[in-house]
Structure 1
């Protein structure tokens, strides 16, 4: 993938031939933000691309900074032997060095128009290079999150631009008077200049500086995280509501079922009559205590008492009910009132009989004694 970045220049001087010579920082480690479409990912708004030190400072990458053509702005294609005369306005040297985060190279601008642009204020640098994009996210040792990693960075050219992606640190510094100390030997704090960046916000292009771009990118990431959290919370809420709705529906179903089981006064009277009739038939078949028994149990107890267990073994309730009805039809139901009255009448008769019998027995005894006398 072909990409471009921006960098600064220091220790500027003019040669006797009019060339502009300088040392410049041309690359750095860390995170730079690209539009997703620049990296072949139009589905992403911005991509935080991380350059680890082991990639930027590898021997192959550092060698690729040396003897690169310089261009005035980025050409529409990579520079090669066929188009070098068309685009080149100078070149980089071979004394490539680096500190902990940056790469520095010597350079020379040889084209008068490019030198005039520099003197008019066009002083930042942008490296044109190719690299591989490893779509692995993570966090840098400094705690900064990233979306992808650059691998196998190979430089193609170095362009003089108005604003570069890497920021004002990567620019051609102001010239120094002949005989003045070389700033590259004693690096000075860099100018606090922020390069312009274009960021897409809700489909609109917004031009801002490096700090603004970082703030917007951070806010966009926070918004994305908030939207994700809101989506998770909504799913959890919907799940809770569905569970409560199911519980309410269950309670309503149970209530309706209980309502269906509640007997009206007429139904209750009918049920009492039916139960009394059943107990009366059962007692006619077999007199027993049927309290607390179901209708089916009452029939079975009466049938078993009359016919034995074998008569109903393995038989369904319908069969037992039919046998019960047959037995009940053949038995005369006992009226409990009549039974009670009959028992009392018999008791009184027995009492009278006993008294009468005793009296007669006494008379017989006395009569017998008189006859013997």
Structure 2
């Protein structure tokens, strides 16, 4: 992972050639705070990264601070042999030393524009380096909690910048020989590491620095996103409730409709009587099976059976009903008992006697008198 750290520039020395040289503390052990976005973790606002002494003071890390190109601001890419002439304005020396918790290197600015920027107030340094982030949390020996550990630190370049991460703790010249004159052309202005910004928070004006403004902006966006998500969830919930209410209302309407279709005992008896009368009339008009037919279908079937299909073709139901009533009035009503028994009872016509019964009676009388004699 490629990272950038900042340290301030102060009290350089000018050489006879016009170069600007100094010693600067450019790295330290301990905890530094990064934005989560810098470490590929936009879900985190800030990350406390611990630099153990064994990582900062390892031979490979210390060697990576020697003979590094210096740049005026950070270039858009890491510096290498192919682009060195394009970005380099100076370099670091090879006398890299460290004390209890800091690393010091000599450096030289050789480009006149970069020196002029320094003289105009550009005072701090920023490391451009790569490292591995071990997402292991814990507590330092000094009792400070951290979220991750920085390992395999390798410096790529050292940039002159307006503002640095480390503020005024590290400054070029901290390790210079006591009493050495400051040969810079202009006195140093007062350090101004962070500019004030006014942020509107819930209708209130809050004065903070760049980092605070960025943190507040991120929190405000997270709050807005949460409110949007909550609004969407509430709308979905209301839609589900409305759908269930509509379903319940539909079921209630169906139940009320079914209740209205239930017949009382008296109404049922009346309906049975009316149905029986209709079937009786229909069979008087035309004797056939009317099982399973509605009242209208019974009337139509009776008329068709009596007069044929042409009699009802294209006619409305009211016409068919009137035609049925006329036919039923002119038909001889049938015995309801016969209708109930399905016409299984047949009537036998009386046979004329023609004296046969009297002859049989006389014969029976003579036979009886002979037996008595």
Query: What's the TM-score, normalizing by structure 1?
Result: 0.49
Query: What's the TM-score, normalizing by structure 2?
Result: 0.49
Greater fraction helix: 1
